[in-house]
Structure 1
Amino acid sequence: MTCPQASSPAPSTPAPHSRAATTADPSRTAHAGRTTHTGHWSGPAQRLERVTVTVYAPDPVLYVGVVHQLRQRPEIELVDGAAAADAQVSLVTVDTVDDETFALLHRLRHNSATRTGLVVGTFESGDALQRAIESGVAAVLRRAEADQDRLLSLVLAIANGEGVLPGDLLAKLLHHVGSLQRSALDPRSASLSTLTAREAEMLRLVAEGLDTAEIARKTAYSERTVKNVLHEVITRLELRNRAHAVGFALRNGLI
């Protein structure tokens, strides 16, 4: 997944997480082996000011679905290639948020020309949701709810500088932040909220004798993610190593 660069043309076959949407106007021209839409919307009396949007998705099906919904709306102008760097809204569409997604979000966060929205299948934990917000995501919409009207509302809200978060995700985020605050006040206090589901799962696998590579294969995370998650647990709970973390979690009924 790569962030579009203004200095280089769009690739003929976009890489995962970097499929940028083509503009969605009536006239078309062939370019670099694919169809590119060109032109501008104009109303009967005056030209409509449209919001420029770039769509990123690792899966071609996700990409086509979102683009198909948005290209039907005259309020939206879909852009890619060099123009993607100046899009008002960057819309990232994924099933789940993984390391590649966070890397893209981090790059987009440093582009002052764009604000980022996330269309996602599921968040596995409050930690992932918090990381997404910290990575510059201004609004979130679940894929299951991403019909044309909701996508349009999301894009317009982002372009207007607003934040959008479903009520249950907001509750999850507040609960997670509260848990972190409690842990900061008493980092050695044990409770069911001390570990996220992912942290608990990885500690259970450590307890079963699996090494980093085996845990990565078992959980479908990268080895780097496994190391980072276990390091975060050890650091946050002020423990010495993985064995100490497993012992701590077992003694306190966390795994």
Structure 2
Amino acid sequence: MTAHEEPVRVLVADDQPLIRAGLVALFRAADGFAVAGEAADGAEAVTLAAATSPDVVLMDIRMPVLDGIAATREILAAAGPRPKVIVLTTFDLDEYVYGALGEGASGFLLKDTPPERIIGAIRTIAAGDILLAPSITHRLIETHARAHRASAGGSRRLDELTVREAEVLRLVGNGLTNNQIAARLVVSEATVKTHLKHTMFKLRLSSRAQAVVVAYETGLIIPGDPADR
């Protein structure tokens, strides 16, 4: 980190003291990071996020007082600058994680992720990119989208999207990067970004991960359909 660069400020929320302490120590020791605070439950995470304005919140799901999904919802609904939220989970196929992605979390990490990969993931999210590349994310979404589609599909306003915006959303749902989408559609990456920006505004989405969830919930992507690959 150069002298003029600001460190990435991370708020750690986990009810297990040992895990929380380990993560806090990791970020304090890593170059280019600072610890904005640490919370032992979701309610404390909401309070600290409002008080400290972190860049990234590393959010456990299963916590007392207020769980990670509700805390994510409250943090991302608050006025002012909103941090990126990365969900921490013990299980790779956990419908709670699906719920958090639907609330606007930017991605998730397993608690057994090596420290260097956690650091890399935080850098990726803080830079405005996404943490959706692992196939495990799409497996999780495919597993739970069917159960949520019936109730969620009617509430989404896909009719507000242009044909091209819907196509971009479908490709985002399949895990393609902006560069890959641009190549697929034979347009510039800037054009893809514009379509995605309009789509997220129209559907009131706060993260690319949330866009992936919506693509499945609304039936733009049918799990297992070879056409969606």
Shift of 1:163: 2.1
8 Å contact kept, 2:69–2:96 = no
User: Deviation string for 1:158-194 (max 9, x for gaps)?
Assistant: 1122221431232121232245447989xxxxxxxxx
Q: In the superposition, relative to structure 1, how do residues 106 and 184 fare at CA in structure 2: closer, same or farther (>3 Å)? A: closer
Q: In the superposition, relative to structure 1, how do residues 84 and 163 fare at CA in structure 2: closer, same or farther (>3 Å)? A: farther
The correspondence for 1:107, drawn from 70, 74, 78, is: 74
Shift of 1:113: 2.8
The runs of 5 or more residues in structure 1 that have no matched partner are 1-41, 186-255
d(CA) in 1 for partners of 2:77, 2:151: 30
Q: Which amino acid aligns with 1:136?
A: G
- Residue 157 (str. 1) matches residue 151 (str. 2): no
Q: In the superposition, relative to structure 1, how do residues 117 and 134 fare at CA in structure 2: closer, same or farther (>3 Å)? A: same
Q: Secondary structure at the match of 1:177?
A: helix
The runs of 5 or more residues in structure 2 that have no matched partner are 38-47, 154-229
Query: Relative contact order (C-alpha < 8 Å, sep 6+): which is higher?
Result: 2
Equivalent residue pairs, number: 139
8 Å contact kept, 1:52–1:78 = yes
Q: Secondary structure at the match of 1:144?
A: coil
Aligned to 1:90: 57
8 Å contact kept, 1:93–1:118 = yes
d(CA) in 1 for partners of 2:33, 2:96: 29
The correspondence for 1:140, drawn from 100, 108, 125, is: 108
Aligned to 1:69: 26
Residues 11-30 of structure 1: matches in 2 within 5 Å?
none
d(CA) in 1 for partners of 2:127, 2:135: 20
Q: Which has the larger radius of gyration?
A: 1
Q: Secondary structure at the match of 2:106?
A: strand
Q: For the aligned residues, what is the CA RMSD?
A: 3.0
d(CA) in 2 for partners of 1:65, 1:79: 15
Aligned to 1:116: 85
- Residue 175 (str. 1) matches residue 175 (str. 2): no
Sequence identity (%): 19
d(CA) in 1 for partners of 2:103, 2:6: 29
Q: In the superposition, relative to structure 1, how do residues 88 and 82 fare at CA in structure 2: closer, same or farther (>3 Å)? A: closer
Shift of 1:47: 3.9
